[in-house]
Amino acid sequence: MIYDISYTALAFFFVFVSLVIGLSFYFGRKKSNSSSYYAAGGQIHWAVNGIAFAGDYLSAASFLGICGMIAVSGFDGFLYAIGFIAGWIVALFLIAEPFKRLGKFTFTDALNAKYNSRAITLSASVGTLIISIFYLIPQMVGAGDLVMPLLGLPHWAGVILVGTIVIIIVASAGMASTTYVQFLKGGLLIILSTVLTIYILKNGLNSTPEFEGKPYHSFIHLKPQVNGDKIVSVPDWEVIGQQSVGKKTFVKLSSAGVERWFDWTVKDGNHLLSETLTITQKADGEKLYNGEVKENRKFYQVGHLSKIIVNGQELDKTGPLGPFEFLSTIKESDIVRFLQVKVVDGTDQVAIYYPEVTSGEKFMLPGLKYKIGSDASLWSKMDFVSLMLALFLGTAALPHILIRYYTVKTPRDARKSTILAIAAIGGFYILTLFIGLGAGVNGVMDVESSNMAAPLLARAFGAVLFSVISAVAFATVLGTVAGLIVASSGAIAHDFIDVYLKKNLDDENKVKVGKIAAVLVGIFAIVLGMAFKGINVSFLVGWAFAIAASSNLPAILFLLFWKRTSATGISASIIVGIVVSLAIILTSPTMWDKYGLGAENAIHQLENPALISFPLAVLTVYFVSILYPKKAE
């Protein structure tokens, strides 16, 4: 999309980032030992901790990813919200208090509390590091996306900016600062999402959504002369050529020296050419938007309702709607989504975004992304089950979530924090349904990246709302990345160097090593954030959840609920969980596509590994514990 710098947003952004850094330096001055660096000294109030939990959890994947996926794929985006919240049930009912009672401060320590095994230390710290990195990638990708409209900077610049700020925060202060930053951010995110939802409902639905006097682009429809499977002529346009991709045919026309692509459809025997959006990458490096240079501003934000039905009557627009009315009206109406295909036209690479009318009924059901209906393949049904399993079991096993159990004084406080977090996160997720749908039908979508759905919708309602939401979304990324880097540096400095390598560092050195590790992980995250540009943020997070569910959760559950669990069983299960889930991810259709080998040629069609890797890890911890029982350790 073509973005301009927003100076209001810029001002808010700097105020916010300065506040965040200022806060961390303020708390950083107070910290003195390793426990305050890693776990804020166990002195955080439960209510602050609860909202900070929500702040941690409502990462780029939630705010940017879920809203974006709902806007593009309807209910399938909401599946993530359902799975994310269900994961808290596992965390609260099975893990929270027993872990708190173990009284350790990294995931590895807690897992190893009863065994003191070096194998557990090593496998768990490697697991923590891999999960954190997989969770870091989408945050960094989201940061890059966010900075483009906010500051008018390219994607890579956003990634470097976030990485650098977080390294400064973490290296200067540690967990105390990140808890308060997360508290502030979590609270603001919920308030602002509520405001945005009120705006959406008040605004109602309009088949030609207009904001701030800017009319929605009126898409051109042409009636061609057809001979067999060829377009012969089109009034006022010159026919240049046509290309078929699967069942679709796209026609290239020219008018006044500008070449445009149209989507050829046949309805009731009538041929119709509908305007598409295109980005053409010329061989000489020039990029054309809808056949013209960027400065001509011929590339539009899209997504609208082609038909609005209220109580059986077709309307052009509705007035303000109640929440149920809003959802049911979308269900009865037709949504125009823009889907992407890529074609090679001579030496040009052309990305075509064509309009696809989807009934509201389909849009409000699962199936647009994860096909699960009667015509779906076994692979795609397995994928759906696998995703739901990963989301359910992954939350409790994420290292940066677990670490917050230790930042309050008592198990009672940890419990209250978690319930407050469920309320805050659950409320937020219900709002994402409105924000996502609102973005999908209000003509604000950027066809290149769905991640910007929520901030762009806010921009339609006014620069101030956009600025504040973008700044908070940026802080969301900052806070989550900071939490993940603290967890990773803990895994390296504390688990690996101090405990596994038995360096017995004193308190001061432990903090120093932790900070060096934080800087290194931060740099690594920057590099990965640039490498994974363009991959869906929520989708990437699904992988992190699957790895966490497979490597950590079987180990935790067996440790807490089966007395015969042995140290060898735990470490073997962690290793199997990591290796199998990574192997499935690295051979998945998405990665095959990334390698340039074509998704359809992948050796299997499973995108999410949990359905296979989680049961395997469970079997491993069970059988290895029987084969190598505790006494032998």
Partner 1 sequence: MHVNSTIEEKESVTKQKSSLGVRLFFIYSIFYVGFVILGVFHYELLSNTIFGGLNLAVVYGISLILFAFLLGVIYDYYCTRYEDQAEMEDQLNIGKTL
Q: Where would I find the beta strands (DSSP E) of 277-425?
A: 277-281, 287-289, 302-310, 313-315, 334-345, 348-359
Piece of 164-172, 335-343, 413-421, 466-474 that binds partner 1 (CB under 8 A): 413-421
Is residue 495 a contact residue for partner 1 (CB under 8 A)?
A: no
Of the candidates 178, 154, 156, which has an alpha carbon nearest to the alpha carbon of residue 166? 178
Least gap, CB of 598 to partner 1 (angstroms): 28
C-beta of 34 vs 139, nearer to partner 1: 34
Range list of H helices, 403-536: 411-441, 453-460, 463-489, 507-531
Q: Which of residues 76-105 bind partner 1 (CB under 8 A)?
A: 78-79, 81-82, 85-86, 88-90, 92-94, 97-98, 100-105
SS3 helix, strand, coil % of the chain, rounded to 5? 65, 15, 20
Least gap, CB of 248 to partner 1 (angstroms): 26
Least gap, CB of 574 to partner 1 (angstroms): 21
Question: What single-letter DSSP state applies at residue 273?
Answer: E
Size of the site for partner 1 (CB under 8 A): 65
Is residue 388 a contact residue for partner 1 (CB under 8 A)?
A: yes
Residues whose CB is less than 8 angstroms from the CB of residue 195 and which lie 6 or more positions away in sequence, other chains included? 465
Q: Which helix (H) or strand (E) holds 88?
A: helix 75-90
Residues whose CB is less than 8 angstroms from the CB of residue 606 and which lie 6 or more positions away in sequence, other chains included? 379, 382, 383, 386, 584, 588, 612
C-beta of 68 vs 149, nearer to partner 1: 68
Piece of 34-42, 152-160, 184-192, 438-446 that binds partner 1 (CB under 8 A): 34-42
Least gap, CB of 322 to partner 1 (angstroms): 9
How close are the terminal C-alpha atoms of the chain, in Å?
Answer: 59
DSSP of 219-237: --EE--EEETTEEEEBTTB
Is residue 381 a contact residue for partner 1 (CB under 8 A)?
A: yes
Sign (positive or negative) of CA dihedral 472, 366, 369, 614 = positive
C-beta of 309 vs 463, nearer to partner 1: 309
Is residue 615 a contact residue for partner 1 (CB under 8 A)?
A: no
Piece of 31-39, 132-140, 164-172, 206-214 that binds partner 1 (CB under 8 A): 31-39
Burial class (CB in 10 A: 0-12, 13-18, 19+), 338: middle
C-beta of 296 vs 377, nearer to partner 1: 377
Which residue among 114, 271, 409, 630 contacts partner 1 (CB under 8 A)? 409
Of the candidates 273, 162, 193, 185, which has an alpha carbon nearest to the alpha carbon of residue 523? 162
Question: Are the beta carbons of 305 and 336 closer than 8 angstroms?
Answer: yes
Least gap, CB of 609 to partner 1 (angstroms): 17
d(CA 329, CA 310): 6
Residues whose CB is less than 8 angstroms from the CB of residue 312 and which lie 6 or more positions away in sequence, other chains included? none
Least gap, CB of 612 to partner 1 (angstroms): 16
d(CA 197, CA 179): 27
Residue 618: count other Cβ atoms within 10 Å of its Cβ.
19
Piece of 16-24, 33-41, 531-539, 615-623 that binds partner 1 (CB under 8 A): 33-41
Is residue 70 a contact residue for partner 1 (CB under 8 A)?
A: no
Angle at 439 between CA 435 and CA 441, to 5 degrees: 120
C-beta of 70 vs 140, nearer to partner 1: 70
Residue span 536-565 as binding mask against partner 1, x where in contact by CB under 8 A, dash where not: -------------------------x----
Is residue 385 a contact residue for partner 1 (CB under 8 A)?
A: yes
C-beta of 332 vs 356, nearer to partner 1: 332
Of the candidates 70, 160, 144, 603, which has an alpha carbon nearest to the alpha carbon of residue 364? 70
Residue span 389-408 as binding mask against partner 1, x where in contact by CB under 8 A, dash where not: ---x-------------xx-
The token pair that represents 420 in the structure block: 């407050």
Kindly report the backbone phi and psi dihedral angles of residue 453, in degrees, each rounded to the nearest multiple of 5, phi listed first: -50, -55
Residue span 293-332 as binding mask against partner 1, x where in contact by CB under 8 A, dash where not: -------------------------------xx-xxx-xx
C-beta of 12 vs 78, nearer to partner 1: 78
C-beta of 420 vs 537, nearer to partner 1: 420
C-beta of 192 vs 425, nearer to partner 1: 425
Residues that bind partner 1 (CB under 8 A): 34-35, 38-39, 41-42, 75, 78-79, 81-82, 85-86, 88-90, 92-94, 97-98, 100-105, 109, 324-325, 327-329, 331-332, 361, 364-367, 372-374, 381, 384-385, 388, 392, 406-407, 409-412, 415-416, 418-419, 422-423, 426, 429-430, 433, 561
